[in-house]
């Protein structure tokens, strides 16, 4: 396998990088949707994330790498007390052209052919359990697969009823999608299921563009050497995730900050409660990443565009982008 481009070597794109780190700190934020132009490093960033994530403790040789202190899986209904192993946090790529049987899991063909036995072969959803599932070009994925993924991502459980198999297994993962709005819009119902939404653009500052080209060229010529050069920086980012995760439990959120979040959601007319829940979790993760012990109004403000821009009622005649509307509302609320 080719080495992945290091996360810390990505030039700029701070909002995208931040959103991925926040999702890594608190998977409960509920996924990230990355919109952007071609060639802006969307896929690169997600694939680079794998190298940063702290490893997992899982039941030994479990096909679902299930949590020894968790709910168990079909293979290990009672995981407590079983021998464990350390595995890398999965970042699973869902390639375009994947068939449904590989996504949800299906009858193990080989097993059936050689032994004439029915056995469940877990799919990508099982592999992504406790990690990340990445779909590039979400808008090109077939609708029924997208619906299925969102359903599983929301319920944390994959229920397979096919070919005479009846299996349910845990599948808790952070869904990361990327897409190019030029290739068709996403349904609002679908967008709303993602916790955060970020927009990436091609860098316009010449110095940044030069740096992107130089680093990419250096990476292509010597991937191993380039990765080694950035290993230290990547390790520091990984440490930041670990520290922030540990801090998350003790984080306090003052009532005034909760209120600010709710007011902001109301003032821009974001539909439903999902926006409020997301903005609070996101603000907490953001504060934790920055080493704070309490969540502040500034944290709420910092994450508001990411958490809310895809939840606004779209007014097609309003040329002002969602981000501008949110920032306007935030400045009215916070600067008053």
In the set 60, 71, 117, 332, which binds another protein (CB under 8 A)? 117
Catalytic residue among 193, 215, 274, 328: 274
Residue 145 near residue 100, CB atoms below 8 Å: yes
Please state, in angstroms and rounded to a whole number, the distance separating the CA atoms of residues 296 and 82.
42
Regarding 106 and contact with another protein (CB under 8 A), the answer is yes
CB of 91 to another protein, least distance (A): 13
How would DSSP label each residue in 247-284?
HHTT-B--HHHHHHHHHHHHHHT--TTHHHHHHHHHHH
Size of the site for another protein (CB under 8 A): 68
Q: Give residues 222-241 in contact with another protein (rule: CB under 8 A).
A: none
Strands ordered across the beta sheet of 91-94: 91-94, 131-135, 173-179, 32-36, 196-200
User: Which range of residues in 59-67, 94-102, 239-247, 270-278 is near another protein by CB under 8 A?
Assistant: 94-102
Where does residue 109 fall: left (phi above 0), alpha (psi -120 to 50 degrees), or beta otherwise? alpha
CB of 202 to another protein, least distance (A): 5
Regarding 186 and contact with another protein (CB under 8 A), the answer is yes
255-268 vs 297-308: helix axis angle to the nearest 10? 30
Residue 130 annotated to the active site: no
CB of 297 to another protein, least distance (A): 33
Number of H helices, E strands in the chain: 13, 11
Residue 274 near residue 188, CB atoms below 8 Å: no
Please, which residue, 249 or 316, has the CB nearer to another protein? 316
Please, which residue, 38 or 69, has the CB nearer to another protein? 38
Largest Cα separation within the chain, whole Å, is 72
Q: How far is CA 84 from CA 90, 139, 150, in A?
A: 17, 39, 30
Q: Give residues 8-67 in contact with another protein (rule: CB under 8 A).
A: 37-40, 43
Regarding 115 and contact with another protein (CB under 8 A), the answer is yes
Q: Give residues 197-216 in contact with another protein (rule: CB under 8 A).
A: 202-203, 206-207, 209-210, 212-214, 216
Residues in contact with another protein by CB under 8 A are 1-2, 37-40, 43, 93-103, 106-110, 112-118, 121, 123-124, 136-137, 140, 142-144, 162-164, 181-188, 202-203, 206-207, 209-210, 212-214, 216-218, 220-221, 314, 316-317, 319
Query: Where in the sequence numbering do the catalytic residues fall?
Result: 274
């Amino acid at each position: 396998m080719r080495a992945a481009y290091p996360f810390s070597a990505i030039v700029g794109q701070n909002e995208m990088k931040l959103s991925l780190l926040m999702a890594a700190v608190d998977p409960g934020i509920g996924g990230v949707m990355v919109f952007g132009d071609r060639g802006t490093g969307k896929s690169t960033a997600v694939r680079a994330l794998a190298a940063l994530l702290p490893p997992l403790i899982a039941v030994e040789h479990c096909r679902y790498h299930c949590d020894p202190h968790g709910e168990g899986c079909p293979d290990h209904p009672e995981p407590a007390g079983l021998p464990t192993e350390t595995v890398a946090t999965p970042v699973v790529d869902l390639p375009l052209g994947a068939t449904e049987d590989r996504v949800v899991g299906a009858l193990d063909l080989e097993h059936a052919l050689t032994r004439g036995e029915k056995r469940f072969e877990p799919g990508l959803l099982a592999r992504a359990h406790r990690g990340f599932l990445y779909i590039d070009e979400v808008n090109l994925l077939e609708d029924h697969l997208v619906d299925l993924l969102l359903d599983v991502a929301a319920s944390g459980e994959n229920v397979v009823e096919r070919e005479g198999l009846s299996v349910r297994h845990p599948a808790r993962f952070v869904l990361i999608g990327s897409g190019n709005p030029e290739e068709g819009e996403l349904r609002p119902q679908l967008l709303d299921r993602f916790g955060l939404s970020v927009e990436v653009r091609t860098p316009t500052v010449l110095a940044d563009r030069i740096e992107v080209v130089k680093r990419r060229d250096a990476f292509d010529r010597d991937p191993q050497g380039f990765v080694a050069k950035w290993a230290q920086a990547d390790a520091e980012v990984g440490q930041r995730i670990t520290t922030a995760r540990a801090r998350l439990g003790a984080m306090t959120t003052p009532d005034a900050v909760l209120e600010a979040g709710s007011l902001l959601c109301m003032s821009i007319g974001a539909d439903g409660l999902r926006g409020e829940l997301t903005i609070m979790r996101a603000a907490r993760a953001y504060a934790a990443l920055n080493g704070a012990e309490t969540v502040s109004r500034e944290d709420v403000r910092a994450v508001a565009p990411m958490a809310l821009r895809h939840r606004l009622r779209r007014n097609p005649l309003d040329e002002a982008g969602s981000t501008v509307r949110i920032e306007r509302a935030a400045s009215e609320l916070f600067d008053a």
